[in-house]
Chain A
Amino acid sequence: MRLPQVRRLQVVRHCVQLTVLLSLFLIPTIARYQNYVSAREADRVIEKWQGTLAGGVIASVDSVFRALPGGETERAGSMQRNRQRIGRYTHQVRGSVWSADIGPVSLTDPLAAAESVVGSRHFPWVLAVGLVIPVLVTMLLGRVFCSWVCPAGLLFEITDALRGVLRFLEINPRNLRMARGTKYGMLAAGLLLTFVVAAPVLGYIYPPAVLSREIHDFVFATFDRAEHGRFGFWVGGMSWMAVVMLTIVAIELFVSRRWWCRYVCPGGGLYSLLGAARPVRVKLRHESCTDCALCVAACPIGLNPMKNQMGIECDNCGACISSCNDAALGYGLGVHQSASIDSDGTDETLAEDAA
């Protein structure tokens, strides 16, 4: 069965990704603003930090809060109350893509949960509560976290686009292939290591967790510095995990296209396994296909939609659907599909060279 087409699917998807990335910056910023409001310092901070980055950010958050209904009050006392009242709503969204709280809904990355369970040899109920939605969504739609939520996914898509710029400059980036099974190896070995050292280790190299943490610490460090009278841009607050991220970006840029998501990501591996039997899949209509291989070049995960070989790793991003000029591809319902995880065919090389 074929599902109805969503128009401008890639635009919608990128908007969702951008919103997530923006929230990673906004959540700690608003948290800090609320701290200043609670301490009745907000007005003083805005005045004192005028003309600086931190001051500008706090001032703009403040003006947004004032513009919201019920926020624009002249009297100082009620202003304070209104800010706090609005703050109570914004405080409903907490955490990051590693684990988040949206109102009463708790969401935890299955990889985080797996590490916690394996490390502590214990499965508490609280953990199960946060897992319900991510696991159900993944079982239904597959690895959609990677294509719709993961902030590193967006970063790597930008890196992928930059490869085109490199090619234009005639600095031909290499495209090293690795076995797709590597990610399952990473997952298994990482969980084994977690079990041995009894502390989560994959969270320190897993890009969405790293980005979430580094952005949070960066925002907090910026305000900490401002409180000590030091302004301007500085990488303070970031840790060696940022170096891990930079290394991955460098590899993706020069050595291997979408290297992390295609071959290495342990979280992607776990999501792939969870979504192995997903009913929502990209389906090919053979009679419309003209064998142009545009979809093969478009696939960020390096699969071959033209051969209807999506396996378990497809993240349902729909890049192939959008790239198809003949409406041969579309989302469909049905579990059956050839499930080869190691399907890096030769057509892909041709298509990429042509592109």
Chain B
Amino acid sequence: MESKLTRRRFLTRLGTGAFTVTGLAGTGLLAGLGSAGEAAACVRPPGALLEDDFLATCIRCGRCTDACPNRCITPFTKEAGSELALTPGARQFGTPVIFPRRKACMLCNGEPGDKLLCTDACPTGALIPTLKTPEAIQEGVHMGTAVVDTTICYSFNGASCGACVRACPFEGEALSAGLWERPIVDPSACVGCGLCERSCVHYPQAIRIVPRPRDWSVAS
């Protein structure tokens, strides 16, 4: 059946090869260009691997997005980030992200199941399955850390508010109230759920989640 190499067949194969090479080179270029500007640090869903591992492991299927009972997880697209002036890099495009100011993670409080639903839904292990117990959440969830801007926080400026302290799921551990209900963050206990940022009555928010840095590790 295998016939001789006709001119037609030769040209077809040549074209095919050229197509493959150019197509992939183009895609590669796109990815390369994008990763150059990939600065947007963002809050990942609970149990996420470190950013570089996460970007390599996540297949952008959106199962965690659908599983989230609070709909706080959204795919990182240009439109999704535009409101907060965040642009996804090429490798980050379509990955799940949380914008706590819009909607924060409520750690699946009151939902069925014994695991955080997004981690349970993840097919690749990019989100490590995490139990809903306080201990497991403290150990396995590190989305970011709350940081208070004392120049604008009401409690630091002659009023007494405490909204963020009462919103915190680890009240007294991660976030405790000082004099005049001033929020005091304990970075080692804060999981970065963002409920404080969401509840902040000041605009712009006086307490914000700073996503964990790229080279973050449990030890630090």
A interface residues with partner B (beta carbon < 8 Å): 27-28, 31, 35, 38, 88, 94-96, 98-101, 106, 108, 112-113, 115-116, 119-122, 124-127, 130, 177-179, 181-182, 185-186, 189-190, 193, 196-201, 203-205, 209, 212-213, 216-217, 221, 236-237, 239, 263, 309, 338, 340, 342-343, 345
Q: Which of B16, B69, B122 contacts A126 (CB 8 A)?
A: B122
Contact (Cβ within 8 A) A95 B31:
no
Contact (Cβ within 8 A) A182 B71:
no
Contact (Cβ within 8 A) B62 A95:
yes
Q: List 16 A-B contacts (CB under 8 A).
A: A31-B66, A95-B66, A116-B59, A120-B56, A126-B123, A127-B124, A178-B19, A179-B13, A189-B20, A189-B24, A198-B52, A200-B60, A201-B27, A201-B31, A203-B59, A239-B78
Which chain A positions have C-beta within 8 A of B21? 189
Which chain A positions have C-beta within 8 A of B67? 94
Contact (Cβ within 8 A) B60 A27:
no
* Residue B32 at the chain A interface, CB threshold 8 Å: yes
Chain B's nearest CB lies how many Å from the CB of A325? 26
Which chain B positions have C-beta within 8 A of A216? 62
Chain A's nearest CB lies how many Å from the CB of B93? 8
* Residue B188 at the chain A interface, CB threshold 8 Å: no
Nearest A residue to B94 via CB reads: A213
B interface residues with partner A (beta carbon < 8 Å): 1-2, 12-13, 15-17, 19-21, 23-24, 27-28, 31-32, 35, 52-53, 55-63, 66-67, 69, 71, 75, 77-79, 90-91, 93-94, 112, 121-126, 129
Q: Which of A88, A189, A197, A217 contacts B35 (CB 8 A)?
A: A197
Query: With the chains together, A101 CA to B67 CA distance in Å?
Result: 10
Contact (Cβ within 8 A) A199 B125:
no
Nearest A residue to B54 via CB reads: A120
* Closest A-B pairs by Cβ, 4 of them: A124-B125, A99-B61, A119-B56, A120-B56
Given contacts A112-B61, A340-B2, contact A186 B20 (CB under 8 A): yes
Which chain B positions have C-beta within 8 A of A28? 66
Chain A's nearest CB lies how many Å from the CB of B27? 6
Which chain A positions have C-beta within 8 A of B55? 119, 198-199
Which chain A positions have C-beta within 8 A of B15? 178
Query: With the chains together, A193 CA to B32 CA distance in Å?
Result: 11
Nearest A residue to B14 via CB reads: A179
Contact (Cβ within 8 A) B121 A213:
no
Contact (Cβ within 8 A) B69 A38:
yes
Q: Which of A120, A178, A345 has the most CB of B within 10 A?
A: A120
Which chain A positions have C-beta within 8 A of B1? 309, 338, 340, 343, 345
Query: With the chains together, A31 CA to B17 CA distance in Å?
Result: 44
Query: With the chains together, A197 CA to B27 CA distance in Å?
Result: 11
Which chain B positions have C-beta within 8 A of A342? 2
Contact (Cβ within 8 A) A239 B77:
yes
Query: With the chains together, A31 CA to B91 CA distance in Å?
Result: 27
Chain A's nearest CB lies how many Å from the CB of B103? 11
Q: Which of B2, B12, B69, B91 contacts A197 (CB 8 A)?
A: B91
Chain B's nearest CB lies how many Å from the CB of A265? 12
Chain B's nearest CB lies how many Å from the CB of A126? 4
Given contacts A115-B59, A199-B55, A199-B56, contact A217 B129 (CB under 8 A): no
Which chain B positions have C-beta within 8 A of A100? 63
Which chain B positions have C-beta within 8 A of A236? 79
Which chain A positions have C-beta within 8 A of B123? 95, 99, 101, 106, 108, 112, 126-127, 130
Which chain B positions have C-beta within 8 A of A185? 16-17, 20
Contact (Cβ within 8 A) B124 A98:
no
Contact (Cβ within 8 A) A197 B31:
yes
